[in-house]
Amino acid sequence: MFVGRQPIVNNRREIVAYQLLFRSDLATDVANVHDDMAATGDVLLNTLNNIGLERVLGNAVAFVKVPVDMLEHTLLEILPQRKIVLELPPDIRIDEPLLNRMVELKRMGYRFAMAHFRFDRNKKAFLDLLDFAKLSVGELSEAELKQEVKALRGYGLRLIAEMVESEEAFGRARSLFMNYYQGYFFARPETLHMRRVDPQAQRVARLFNLVLSDAPRDVIEMEFKQDVALSFNILRYINSPGMGVPEEVQTLQHALVMLGRNRLARWLSMMMIRDNKQSMAPKALLRTALIRARATELMGAPQVGAAYRDHLFMTGMFSMLDVLFGMSLEEAVGTLNLPGPIRQALVEKSGPYYPYLELARACDHFDVEAIRAGSRRLGIPLRQINRMQSEAMSWAWRMDEDIKADE
């Protein structure tokens, strides 16, 4: 998922807004748009639902190009009014239906801008509804620019100098007391991205949060029942030979009781990584995550306490979330209701679980010096670390085979 953005700055060169742009990949800095409405929808959905408004904008406002067909779309009405400015194209036909729709959206709190603006005194009704006018410094002569600014002074519009590509252009626009500035002189557009999360992985994440927030069992059971495959997999897991249940578990309710919250959270943490189909290397990633999770658990449980085995396991498992989701660990962990020590280990690289995660990671990378340092610091003999790592690899192989059987 990709969204381009270019800063809009004030007279002190502080970022106050971003122009949001359609991007199809990371390799290009231009918008290869074949369908304006689809491109705008893609930008909005990626910003709001996928990458996240806070990550894209911070405290700034977004200018989003809106084709005329999009103005009637109900998608616009779910946008946060204070954070979005609707930017109209310069060739838009100004007629009564357009003005009526603008009035309707203005009443909801939305603001309007127009790019490559040219003044027309015959369009007063439109000017009265406009909030920002973008004047192209790169296309207008100095005389034309002065004329446009002078003509617009009585309309209460905020003026944005666009296509500002040099210090000279910035100085020229600033001397006309324009309000904001946009162009390559300040920054070229950058592309933000995040790997798309599979819908089932999103459901698993919701379940994980319900379990850790002590949601009632019937609420968790209802969430499971909305996914047949997930319900089947948990019954298969609870009835596997390694679980040692005395009799076959045939109902979802019985499975949830038998597992308990800690083991259920542990199982869901594995499912989150397993079920993300968009991972760049899902099989290799799953195997590495399983080994690291089990190794962290084995190395830490004797020291931290057997009651925290599942926490240690999840610490190792979730240390791969940045690779899986294409975002920082801090952002990925922010979507999960993790216990404090797990969050501390993953984000702050500290706390009671972190030394064991660090040692397990060193074993992953065959970093001999780091393994020796961890052995001395934690008081775990090298031979014992080797045995635990081998056991973790064997366990991960068995789990991986079980997962393949499910598929």
Q: Which domains does the chain have, with CATH numbers?
A: 2-193 (3.20.20.450), 196-277 (no CATH), 279-407 (no CATH)
384 — pLDDT class (breaks 50, 70, 90): very high
- The first and second tokens of residue 250, run together, are 């045939």
Sign of CA dihedral 241, 244, 248, 254: negative
Residue 161: pLDDT over 50:
yes
3-class DSSP assignment, residue 192: strand
375 — pLDDT class (breaks 50, 70, 90): very high
What is the Cα–Cα distance from 403 to 286, expressed in whole angstroms?
A: 10
Q: Please state, for a pLDDT cut of 70, what percent of the chain lies above it.
A: 76
- Taking the whole predicted model, whether its pTM rises above 0.75 is answered as no
Helices 282-304 and 252-274 meet at what angle, rounded to 10?
Answer: 120
pLDDT reported for residue 271: 78
What is the Cα–Cα distance from 171 to 210, expressed in whole angstroms?
A: 56
Residue matched to tokens 């946060």: 80
Where is 329: in which H helix or E strand?
helix 329-333
pLDDT reported for residue 30: 41
* Mean per-residue pLDDT over the chain, rounded: 77
Residue 19: pLDDT over 70:
yes
CB 167 within 8 A of CB 185: yes
pLDDT reported for residue 168: 85
What is the Cα–Cα distance from 345 to 348, expressed in whole angstroms?
A: 6
What is the Cα–Cα distance from 50 to 2, expressed in whole angstroms?
A: 9
In the beta sheet, which residues pair with residue 136? 162
Given its phi and psi angles, is residue 216 left (phi above 0), alpha (psi -120 to 50 degrees) or beta?
A: beta
What is the Cα–Cα distance from 257 to 262, expressed in whole angstroms?
A: 11
Residue 27: pLDDT over 50:
no
**41, 115, 264, 300 from 23: Cα distances, Å:** 12, 19, 39, 45
pLDDT reported for residue 26: 36
pLDDT reported for residue 275: 55
352 — pLDDT class (breaks 50, 70, 90): very high
Contacts of 9 (CB under 8 A, 6+ apart): 15, 16, 180, 181, 182, 186
Looking at residue 77, what DSSP letter applies?
A: G
382 — pLDDT class (breaks 50, 70, 90): very high
Across 69-130, the runs of DSSP E, i.e. the strands, are 84-88, 111-114
Where is 161: in which H helix or E strand?
strand 158-162
Please tell me the least confidently modeled range out of 10-19, 50-59, 210-219, 230-239: 50-59
Residue 379: pLDDT over 90:
yes
HSE-CB at 206 with a 13 A cutoff on CA atoms is 16
327 — pLDDT class (breaks 50, 70, 90): low
Please tell me the least confidently modeled range out of 44-53, 71-80, 234-243, 307-316: 44-53
3 — pLDDT class (breaks 50, 70, 90): low
pLDDT reported for residue 56: 60
